[in-house]
Structure 1
Amino acid sequence: MSLFLKLANRFPVCGRYVAGMLAKPVLAKSPTTLADMPGPSAVRFAYDLFFNKGISRLHELQLEGKAKYGPVWKARFGPILTVHIADPALIEQVLRQEGQHPIRSDLSSWKDYRQHRGHAYGLLTAEGEEWQELRSTLSKHMLKPKQVAAYDGVLNNVITDLVLRLRQQRASSSRLLVRDLAGEFYKFGLEGISAVLFETRIGCLKTDVPKETEDFIQSINTMFQMTLLTMAMPKFLHKIYPGPWQRFVACWDYMFAFAKGHIDRRMVEVQHKLARSQPVEGTYLTYFLSTQKLPMRAIYGNVTELLLAGVDTISSTMSWSLYELARHPDIQAALHREIRETIGDKPIPSAADVAKIPLLKAVVKEILRLYPVIPGNARVIPDKDIQIGEYIIPQNTLITLCHYATSRDKEVFPNPDSFQPMRWLHKDNNFHPYASIPFGFGKRSCIGRRIAELEVYLALARILTNFDVRQDIKGSVVKPMTRTVLVPEQQINLQFIDR
């Protein structure tokens, strides 16, 4: 689910997230303060960001920034100063000094919307003690292996429909081609999180997707597009140029209404059962939250945020996994053998089965190294100055952790641009533990990691037992692009051949 929850890490303001990667380095003999730290001018950075490279290449700018300035550099975007860190040991220093209530970048426009409508904060928007209480409540249900394993039946029902949809989609192609895998897996991710939250199906995998579900998907996409813009705009501009803010509000209004409708229906069913002294069964998360004495307002806020937060993670990880496995048929064949040896003739693997397939875990780990869903993360240390390497970073400075750059660092990972899942199975590998941390670290790590991994493992295992996945003969190399999260820059189209 951070899968469902990674969202909070996705939206540092564009300048916060990327500032400072391009001009000639300014080298100091013995730098110790921000004044001595290298980095580009604001003008040069803005030119390169908007006219030279473009926002979609932000992940590549991390690599260029590290090459030009070293592992630490600064940049300014308007009034916002950002320190960028692209070294695993230095990232570890930051994360180990972040305190009891770690702070990511401020999701200001998300918070503005909640204040505007009087909605409660959820885990993605809350901070401080409020965040700690929500985190503690959710972790009781989302980080315990036994609790997570109980979702395998719910998720397998969704995966059954996914396999059927893949068969239907390829039927329209003489080459058994499924087009736009990321779009298909986006719907799968939304259907899966809905099943976990409500134990209700919303029709994403049907031949004709219900209009309210299509509208919800469009609302998520538009809200993501408007997030960076509304955060970058001063509030007074909302009245002068109201379009972006109005679209942003309309999207959130629809998403809250969508979630509230499903929550209310499920809670009415629960109350009717309790009134008749009937047992209430099920593992869905909304019911769990209701048993924790949270007010309904808080349940609406949390479930709405959880509902949208993990969809991109599932879509991206599934798409890139099958893309790379299709390009490396030897690895796909080895994984298929391992899956078959583990599950035997069982048509549907369980959580216990996929936990025994080391190559499956290694494939997903390698995909998240090559294509981290969140290419950069942000932290703010509010109460103290900290030392990072040779620099003293003042309190309240925005720090961007460049995960894409560290996960493709040739000093850490030999042949860093190559898909080599076997690297994770070598007992003597000594990769720095902070070089690839796609789910974050510590208290701010993705709370939905276990559910997300289970969903991906179960889906990949089932797809590969049903299909030999091959490259499109007309296909080309697909590169990632940054659209807040890391996504394919063009459609991934693959052949699905019956085994």
Structure 2
Amino acid sequence: MAVHLAQSAMQRSGRWLLLCSIAPALVSTRWVGGTRSPANTLPSTSQSKIRTADDLPRIKTRDMFYRMFVKGYYNRLHELQVYEKQLYGPMYKMGMGKFHSIALNSVELLEELLRKGEKFPSRGDMSLWTEYRDLRGIGYGPFTEEGEKWYKLRTVLNKRMMHPKDSVQYGDVVNEVVSDLIKRIYHLRRISPSGDLVTNLSNELYRFSLEGISSILFETRIGCLEEEIPVETQDFIDSIAQMFSYSMPVAMLPKWSRNILPVYRHYIAGWEGIFKFSGKLIDMKMEAIQKRVDTDQEVEGEYLTYLLSNTKMTNKEVYGSVTELLLAGVDTTSNTMMWAMHLLSRYPNAQDTLYQEVSHCVPGDKIPSAQDVNRMPYLKAVIKEALRMYPVVPMNARIMIENDIIIGGHFFPKKIIKLFEIRPDPSIGEVKALNRTVLVADRQVNLHFVERTNRAAL
């Protein structure tokens, strides 16, 4: 749950939506303080037709808390979203204190808003993450930076990470980690008391993903796939879990409670453990680079070496960016793999098609290269379809800073709109909240997964 919590840092307007795991297509926008748009800001040509946020149905704070904590939707927020859409329609307001959010429940409304987006994204209040960085003098990264600064930062970070032609260079590193994962899976099956089964595959994929992204970012192995995880690595994993588990209560509780309740101290301690671990690895790399420079040796290496020696990023910017990339790279990988395996296990025909393609491109015991993967359109289609049905990041945020905007016939002034996108695709089947169970039409899911995957592969 790292990435979707990180996306908006538990904002005070509907911040609990960040925890959703299964939801209908939903987008939220936010305005601060319930500001009303002056009448004279509406376009004069169609003033009688255009409505404002005041015309939308509203869910009050007490209703939100009642449904979450009394009716038990706190752990079933995906069902709550379905329920509220049935009650209020494709667009409605939600209030929490002086902050409010607007939910857009259709693909058309989402498209309309995204097409009217601005060049440099502004996600708004990221103070839950930035205040720790400000406290410790650490730079902002791709999650916490905003606007044009975010754009310039991503331009630097993308060059050796996001572009496909650049990511090819990490093929050997990834293959080494994959080989160790396979060895670990065989080991777990041998010692399994349940009979040749890996009882917690999700945990193993998480450890694999953390080992893989660490190998790329820090250019070193951290031991996640060893039989006994090193103490420092386990402390780091525990710190990530601690930071995220306390994010929601910290965001929801008033600041005056921080000196009374231990929640905030636990939250900060999580960040301390995260930056202590990543900072140590970064410092080790900086020392290695400096030794090479002092002895007139060529500075070689991959991603971290590139950031430290070939860019204009300051050391504090590197600390912030690399740590946030680390958090971003774990759940995005492990969750996608888990859902893809889940779907393939349910649909043997798709699994067999994929097996045939991989066996043809990588015969025998050959280790696949990046070039081999490029010859596997069905594999790519499976991953894309899994992401479409079960997106890793359930929401994204935007504030319209430069221009007023009209969405769904409703006018919103600039510096007031905030967007959250809640997943997944609404066409995978009818989803109903009934007896605390989300019922999905299996046949329709099967039809969409197999047919869409086949079409994508073509």
TM-score by length of 2: 0.84
Shift of 1:34: 0.9
Give identity over the alignment, percent: 38
Do 1:81 and 1:397's aligned partners in 2 also have CA atoms closer than 8 Å? Answer: no
| Alpha-carbon distance, 1:210 to partner | 0.3
Farther-moved stretch of structure 1 (372-381 vs 397-406)? 397-406
Structure 1 residue 289: Cα displacement: 4.4
Classify 1:422/1:342 alpha carbon distance in 2 versus 1 (closer, same or farther; 3 Å).
Answer: farther
Quote how far apart the aligned CAs of 1:77 are: 1.8
1:150-191: CA deviation from partner (whole Å, max 9, x where unpaired): 111111111110100111111122631001111111111110
* C-alpha contact 1:114 1:121 (8 A) present in aligned 2: yes
Once the 2 structures are TM-superposed, how far is the Cα of residue 71 of structure 1 from its aligned partner?
Answer: 2.1
Q: Does 1:63 align with 2:92?
A: no
| Distance change (3 Å), C-alpha of 1:289 and 1:278 | closer
Q: Distance in 2 between matches of 1:67 and 1:270?
A: 59
Shift of 1:313: 1.5
Answer yes or no: is 1:233 the counterpart of 2:262: no
Task: Tell me the equivalent position of 1:420.
Answer: 449
**TM superposition shift of 1:233:** 2.4
Q: Which residue of 2 aligns with 1:9?
A: 7
Residue 407 of structure 1: how far off its partner (Å):
6.0
Residue 189 of structure 1 corresponds to: 209
Aligned counterparts of 1:122 and 1:387: Cα–Cα separation in 2:
31
Q: RMSD between aligned alpha carbons?
A: 2.8
What secondary structure sits across from 2:424 in the alignment?
A: helix
Q: Which residue, out of 276, 283, 308, partners 2:327?
A: 308
In structure 2, runs of 5+ residues without a counterpart are 18-22, 24-47, 432-440
2:236–2:274 CA contact under 8 A, matched in 1: yes
1:192–1:318 CA distance, 2 compared to 1 (3 A): same
Q: How does 1:161-240 map to 2 (within 5 A)?
A: 161-173=180-192, 175-240=195-260
Once the two structures are TM-superposed, the CA of residue 31 in structure 1 deviates from its matched residue by 7.2
1:17 and 1:203, CA in 2 relative to 1: closer, same or farther beyond 3 A? same
Q: Cα deviations across residues 114-157 of structure 1 (Å, max 9, x unaligned)? A: 12222211111111232222111112222322211111111111
Within 5 A, what are the aligned runs for 1:284-323?
Answer: 284-323=303-342
Tell whether the 8 Å contact from 1:6 to 1:309 is kept in structure 2 after alignment.
no
Alpha carbons of structure 1 residues 77 and 141: separation in structure 2 relative to 1, 3 Å: same
Secondary structure at the counterpart of residue 142 of structure 1: coil
- For residues 116 and 354 of structure 1, the distance between their equivalents in structure 2, rounded to whole angstroms, comes to 44
Residue 8 of structure 2 contacts residue 126 of structure 2 at CA under 8 Å; is this kept in 1?
no
Give CA deviations for 1:8-67 in whole Å, capped at 9, x if unaligned: 425343642467x9xxxxxxx977211111233332222112222433222233333333
Equivalent residues of 2:14, 2:96 under 8 A apart: yes
Matched residue count:
417
Query: CA 1:17 to 1:421, structure 2 compared with 1: closer, same or farther past 3 Å?
Result: farther
One-letter amino acid of the counterpart of residue 217, structure 1:
I
In the alignment, is the contact (CA less than 8 A) between 1:62 and 1:404 conserved in 2?
no
- Structure 1 residue 336 displacement after superposition: 0.6
> Could you say if the C-alpha distance between residues 144 and 309 of structure 1 is closer, same or farther in structure 2, counting changes exceeding 3 Å?
closer
> Structure 1 counterpart of 2:239, which letter?
S
Q: For residues 43 and 259 of structure 1, do their structure 2 counterparts lie closer, same or farther at Cα, with a shift above 3 Å needed? A: same
Q: Contact 1:86–1:401 (CA<8 Å) still a contact in 2?
A: no
Question: Structure 1 pair 147/303, CA: closer, same or farther in 2 (3 Å)?
Answer: same
Q: Larger radius of gyration, structure 1 or 2?
A: 2
Please say if residues 95 and 101 of structure 2, whose CA atoms lie closer than 8 Å, have aligned partners that are also in contact. Answer: yes
Q: CA deviation at 1:294?
A: 1.3
- Does structure 1 conserve the Cα–Cα contact (< 8 Å) formed by 2:10 and 2:247? no
Q: Using a 3 Å threshold, how does the CA distance of structure 1 residues 427 and 340 change in structure 2: closer, same or farther?
A: closer
CA separation in 1, counterparts of 2:427 and 2:58?
22
Query: Residues 213-263 of structure 1: CA distance to partner in whole angstroms, max 9, x if unpaired?
Result: 01100110111111122222232221232x111111111111111111101
Structure 1, unaligned runs of 5 or more:
22-28, 430-499
Picking from 142, 149, 159, the partner of 1:123 is 142
Q: Out of 403, 408, 411, which is 1:384 matched to?
A: 403
Contact kept in structure 1, 2:2 and 2:244, CA below 8 Å: no
Question: Equivalents in 1 of 2:154, 2:4: separation in Å?
Answer: 13
Structure holding more helix per residue: 2
CA contact (8 A) 2:16 2:248 kept: no
